[in-house]
Amino acid sequence: MQAQSEYGYNSKIEGDVVLTTVDAALAWFRANSVWPMPMGLACCAIELMAVGASRFDISRFGSEVMRFSPRQSDCMIVAGTVTYKMASSVKRIYDQMAEPKWVIAMGACASTGGMYRSYATLQGVDNIVPVDVYVSGCPPRPEAVLDALMKIQAKIKKEPVLQDLLAAKLLNVPKS
């Protein structure tokens, strides 16, 4: 490396330099490595498997790392009917996920209870966890899930990461 050279235009290294803000860079890293927590509860989980498989290939969006541990996940995809019996488990798994975290409610059941208007079914997972994107369909096409993921990515890219960390006093910046 040319340690002594002065900063400025250098035609030899021009292609390797990207000028951006720290916020934008951090958001870009985050948005392209959203690790999903597959909360597969019913038939939507089968479509979720298709999303992960080669034809639809969620790894094109950096999200192929399906983690079955909430500690290592960023985005919980609630795929299926949430019963009241399961609700406390879903909530606990969401609570165990590290910040920042996002939630996709996949399909009619996870979004609203769907066709299960009965004593046994939670009428939408947003009763217990905050949902970022709702996907319609029964079950949704894999493309719809990918679209939801892209919407999550667009949302992440708009978030001022560094400002949020500073505001929450999670990051110490030495005063110059």
Partner 1 sequence: MTALEFANKIKAKFGDLISEPTEFRGEISINLSDAEKIFDVCQFAKSIGLDYLVDICSVDDYGNDPRWTVVYHLRNIVNAVEIRVKTAVSEEKSELPSVLPVWRTANWHERETYDLMGIRFNGHPDLRRILMWEGYPYHPLRKDFPLAGKPTDLPEVAFTKVTPMEGGPFVTLPAKNDAIAREPRVRVPEGAEPGLSDKRLVKK
Sites of contact with partner 1 (CB under 8 A): 84-85, 87-88, 113, 117-121, 123, 127
Which lies closer to partner 1 via its Cβ, residue 86 or residue 144?
Answer: 86
Q: How far is the CB of 60 from partner 1 (least distance, A)?
A: 39
**Three-state SS at 36:** strand
Residue 130 CA to residue 155 CA, distance in Å, equals 14
Token readout for 169 is 């006093």
d(CA 94, CA 125): 11
Query: Using CA atoms, how far apart are residues 36 and 65, in angstroms rounded to an integer?
Result: 7
CB of 130 to partner 1, least distance (A): 18
C-alpha 74/C-alpha 103 separation (Å) is 9
Least Cβ distance, residue 127 to partner 1 (angstroms)? 8
Residue 114 phi, psi dihedral angles, 5° rounding: 60, -135
Measured from the CB atom, is 60 or 85 closer to partner 1? 85
Rounded to a whole number of angstroms, the minimum distance from the CB of residue 84 to partner 1 is 5
Choose between 26 and 131: whose C-beta lies nearer to partner 1: 131
Q: Give whichever of 63 and 121 is closer to partner 1, judged by the CB atom.
A: 121
